[in-house]
Amino acid sequence: MTKTNWPPRAPAALVDGVVREARKFLVRFLYLWILFALFALHKTLLLPEEGFIYSQGFAILNAFVLAKVMLVGDNLHVGENFDTRPLVYPVLFKSALFAIILICFDLIEEVVVRSLRGKSVEAGVWSVGGGTLEGILSVGIIIFVVLIPYFAFREMAKVVGERQMRELLFVRRTKLGAASSQGARAE
């Protein structure tokens, strides 16, 4: 009797790649979900016409879609032309770019939701940020500022190394490490 190779085994490199991409997606999703959940909570408090559960559902959906968009943007190397410049340039560029993308997704979502409810497309466009250009711009600025820490950590991890960045953030520092950082501050 011959031994069959069914089901076929995936090469280790493929499995590692899938796990790595899944982790990247999960980090982006969680960050965006927290951001959108807070925005949805704020919107629910201001406009109680939409329920809490309803708005949180859209927060999860938006986080899922935008996390995928960000992952695709990374794989397409968006903003790599700033890689040789100081870190502030890629951080600000990517924060601005993805803030614009977020606003566009928010506009599309509002248009779809309003049209499903039988309202005009125009009502959906002008419901973002309170219905004024200033409101839309203020939402964009808030999103831009909130994305800066995310992209700052990512860009620093590229320079320092992901493993070292993870250790700096999540591993308990020893007295020796604390003493060396105090010595560096004294200089």
Residue 138 lies in a domain: yes
Residue 180 lies in a domain: no
Q: 124: which 2 tokens?
A: 């959906």
Look up residue 83 and give its DSSP letter. T
User: At residue 83, does pLDDT exceed 70?
Assistant: yes
**Average pLDDT, integer, range 53-67:** 84
pLDDT band at 130 (very low <50, low <70, confident <90, very high): low
Together in a domain, 69 and 139: no
* pLDDT recorded at residue 29: 94
Together in a domain, 62 and 87: no
* pLDDT recorded at residue 124: 53
Residue 91 lies in a domain: yes
Together in a domain, 96 and 126: yes
The amino acid occupying position 61 is: L
Residue 70 CB partners (closer than 8 Å, separation 6+): 28, 32, 98
Together in a domain, 61 and 132: no
Together in a domain, 64 and 30: yes
**Average pLDDT, integer, range 75-103:** 86
**Average pLDDT, integer, range 155-179:** 79
Query: Is-above-0.75 flag for pTM?
Result: no
Residue 120 lies in a domain: yes
Which of residues 59, 76, 93 is at a domain's end? 76
User: At residue 144, does pLDDT exceed 90?
Assistant: yes
Together in a domain, 88 and 163: yes
Measure CA 131 to chain center.
25
Together in a domain, 120 and 150: yes
Range of the domain at 31: 24-76
Residue 96 lies in a domain: yes
Together in a domain, 140 and 165: yes
Which of residues 76, 100, 117 is at a domain's end? 76
Together in a domain, 136 and 94: yes
Together in a domain, 109 and 153: yes
Crossing angle of helices 162-170/133-160, nearest 10°? 110
Together in a domain, 61 and 87: no
The amino acid occupying position 174 is: T
User: At residue 54, does pLDDT exceed 60?
Assistant: yes
Together in a domain, 39 and 70: yes
**Average pLDDT, integer, range 82-102:** 88
Helices (H), the chain: 12-46, 52-75, 88-116, 121-125, 133-160, 162-170, 175-186
- Number of domains into which the chain is organized: 2
pLDDT band at 183 (very low <50, low <70, confident <90, very high): low
136 in Cβ contact with 129 (< 8 Å): yes
